[in-house]
């Protein structure tokens, strides 16, 4: 395939975590992988990390707010060292993870960076998406595709342990725990900070930990041994819904876990314990937590696999694994893009085509009730699933049904249609004939699920758009 069929886009991943902030710049190569006589199919064929930042301490103001000016300056400085400008960034993710996501200005920080640091799609990640991104960045996702084993990646940072479980490359479930190195911090051996979740465990175990005291190493080990056992119970499906360290829902998987991988900052002390000899190496409980995980006898019964990436798993996943590419024959109003955080409402055509067409208004109204109950103008993406083979007249009738339903229930909203089959161009043109003034995006070769969230980036030179599917179905 010649170079004219190749397009390169630049992707960035920025991870602002509980204790550390990291950035990666990647080069994604797009090619038309279809034959000369087939419909164009543009795919990401190569992912190359071209710059990795040092690992920075996340700058905070009084522990309550992210220092936006310092983060902004840090990102600009790293772009300069990488030899790129913000305008070069065409896709990627800014994610605020762990305890940092609870800071009072976290949302403002994400919005600021996604507006000023490039054309980012994923603006923030909930615990589930963070788990998925880390599992892809660590290599757990790829390992599950190559083996018949159920693989769990546990990404342990400063504030949370985010777990994603994969089998045959399919997501089986996610779970997030209040387990991390920075949940108890020290200042000259005295306790400086106790997180609310750790305070509940403190009471449950009767450890009598208080701010200002100098705890014995055995007491710290009791706390971290408890955390390690909670991780073990999570993997084996034995977690109680009243567990104080549980964040969100119980695990969804029913299969036993064959392989465990650890990523995140704490994993450095799991796979390289020789460099983590002091319990107060980082003025927190990270080293002790790693030792407790290594010492847990039932965890040791599982197969442990060292990931391809540990501390940078989440940021690598954010920069290289979040983007998919639409079909090449699409119909988009470029002035409407980019679009972010659109909930996906699925309309299933497994029933008779005529029946679904006649009830289209009810389907759109149902989606509006779920995703925009207060009529605040949330843009909703409609996924037309299991469409039968359609002739020209059927496509026109489908376009008419969609336009009529949107005019009734979503008159001022862009019409965003997602298809798996190669119908976007013809359906989009049919909609334009009916309503030329309506903002409209119609893309195909994308598979989503009801309840996913979708980001669609600006149109690329090859006529495709970068798409990020954010699977957030496991948490409220």
CA distance 391 to 108: 48
**Which positions ≥6 away from 351 have C-beta within 8 Å?**
none
Helix (H) or strand (E) holding 133: helix 127-138
Check for a shared fold between 3-124 and 326-470.
no
β-pair type (65-66, 381-385) = unpaired
**Which positions ≥6 away from 313 have C-beta within 8 Å?**
134, 135, 137, 138, 153, 155, 263, 264, 307
Give the pLDDT score at 225: 97
Q: Residue 297: is it exposed, middle or buried by C-beta count within 10 angstroms (0-12/13-18/19+)?
A: exposed
Which token pair is 463? 């006529």
Give the pLDDT score at 322: 59
| Contact between residue 330 and residue 428 where contact means Cβ atoms under 8 Å apart | yes
**Which positions ≥6 away from 53 have C-beta within 8 Å?**
22, 23, 24, 78, 81
| DSSP designation for 159 | S
For the segment(s) 3-124, the CATH number from 3.30.930.10, 3.30.420.40, 3.40.50.9100, 3.40.50.300 is 3.30.420.40
Measured from the Cβ of residue 359, the count of other Cβ atoms closer than 10 Å reads 16
Answer positive or negative: Cα dihedral of 203, 207, 213, 214.
negative
Taking the CA atoms of residue 43, residue 454, residue 411 and residue 374 in that order, the dihedral angle to the nearest 10 degrees is 180
Give the pLDDT score at 219: 95
Domain boundaries, the chain: 3-124, 129-313, 326-470
**Which positions ≥6 away from 302 have C-beta within 8 Å?**
235, 257, 258, 259, 260
For the segment(s) 326-470, the CATH number from 3.40.50, 1.10.10, 3.30.230, 3.50.30 is 3.50.30
Give the pLDDT score at 220: 94
β-pair type (453-456, 339-348) = antiparallel
Give the pLDDT score at 360: 93
Give the pLDDT score at 114: 67
Three-state DSSP class for residue 439: coil
Q: Which of 176, 210, 164 is nearest to 191 (CA)?
A: 210
Give the pLDDT score at 453: 78
CA distance 162 to 195: 17
CA distance 97 to 100: 6
| Contact between residue 331 and residue 440 where contact means Cβ atoms under 8 Å apart | yes
Output the CATH code of domain 129-313: 3.30.420.40
- β-sheet bridge partners, residue 49: 26
Q: Which residue has the tokens 């395939």?
A: 1
Residues of the chain with confidence (pLDDT) below 50: 1-3, 472-476
Where in 412-456 does DSSP place strands (E)?
415-419, 440-443, 453-456
| DSSP designation for 158 | S
pTM for the whole thing? 0.71
Taking the CA atoms of residue 96, residue 29, residue 47 and residue 422 in that order, the dihedral angle to the nearest 10 degrees is 70
Measured from the Cβ of residue 231, the count of other Cβ atoms closer than 10 Å reads 26
| Contact between residue 223 and residue 204 where contact means Cβ atoms under 8 Å apart | no
Q: Which residue has the tokens 């522990």?
A: 63
CA angle 68, 70, 74 (to 5 degrees): 115
Helix (H) or strand (E) holding 155: strand 150-156
């Amino acid at each position: 395939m010649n170079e004219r069929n190749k397009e390169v886009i630049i992707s960035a991943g920025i991870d602002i975590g509980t204790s550390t902030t990291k950035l990666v710049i990647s080069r994604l190569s797009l090619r038309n992988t279809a034959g000369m006589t087939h419909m164009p199919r543009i795919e990401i064929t190569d992912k190359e990390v071209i710059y990795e930042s040092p690992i920075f301490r996340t700058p905070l103001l009084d522990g309550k707010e992210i220092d936006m000016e310092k983060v902004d300056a840090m990102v600009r400085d790293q772009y300069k060292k990488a030899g790129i400008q913000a305008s070069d960034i065409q896709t990627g993710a800014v994610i605020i993870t762990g305890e940092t996501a609870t800071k009072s200005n976290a949302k403002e920080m994400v919005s600021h960076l996604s507006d000023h640091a490039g054309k980012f799609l994923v603006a923030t990640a909930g615990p589930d998406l963070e788990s998925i991104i880390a599992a892809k960045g660590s290599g757990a996702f790829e390992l599950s595709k190559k083996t018949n084993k159920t693989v769990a990646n546990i990404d342990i940072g400063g504030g949370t342990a985010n777990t994603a479980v994969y089998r045959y490359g399919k997501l089986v479930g996610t779970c997030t725990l209040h387990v991390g190195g920075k949940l108890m911090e020290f200042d000259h051996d005295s306790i400086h900070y106790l997180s609310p979740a750790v305070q509940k465990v403190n009471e449950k175990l009767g450890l009598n930990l208080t701010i200002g005291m100098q705890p014995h190493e055995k007491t710290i080990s009791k706390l971290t041994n408890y955390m390690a056992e909670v991780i073990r119970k999570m993997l084996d499906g034995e977690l109680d819904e009243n567990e104080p360290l549980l964040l969100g829902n119980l695990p969804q998987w029913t299969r036993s876990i064959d392989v465990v991988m650890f990523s995140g900052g704490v994993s450095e002390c799991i796979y390289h314990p020789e460099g983590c000899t002091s319990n107060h190496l980082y003025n927190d409980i990270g080293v002790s937590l790693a030792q407790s995980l290594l010492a847990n006898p039932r965890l040791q019964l599982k197969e442990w696999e060292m990931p391809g990436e540990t501390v940078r798993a989440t940021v690598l996943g954010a920069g290289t694994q979040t983007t998919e590419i639409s079909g090449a024959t699409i119909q988009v109003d470029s002035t409407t893009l980019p679009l972010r955080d659109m909930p996906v409402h699925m309309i299933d055509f497994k029933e008779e085509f005529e029946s679904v067409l006649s009830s289209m208004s009810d389907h759109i109204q149902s989606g509006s009730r779920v995703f925009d109950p207060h009529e605040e103008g949330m843009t909703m993406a409609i996924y037309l699933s299991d469409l039968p083979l359609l002739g020209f007249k059927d496509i026109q009738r489908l376009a008419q049904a969609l336009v009529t339903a949107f005019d009734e229930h979503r008159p001022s909203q862009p019409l965003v249609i997602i298809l798996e089959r190669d119908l976007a161009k013809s359906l989009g043109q049919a909609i334009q004939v009916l309503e030329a003034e309506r903002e409209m995006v119609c893309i195909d070769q994308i598979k989503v699920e009801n309840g996913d969230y979708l980001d669609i980036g600006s149109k690329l030179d090859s006529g495709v758009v970068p798409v990020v599917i954010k699977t957030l179905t496991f948490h409220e």
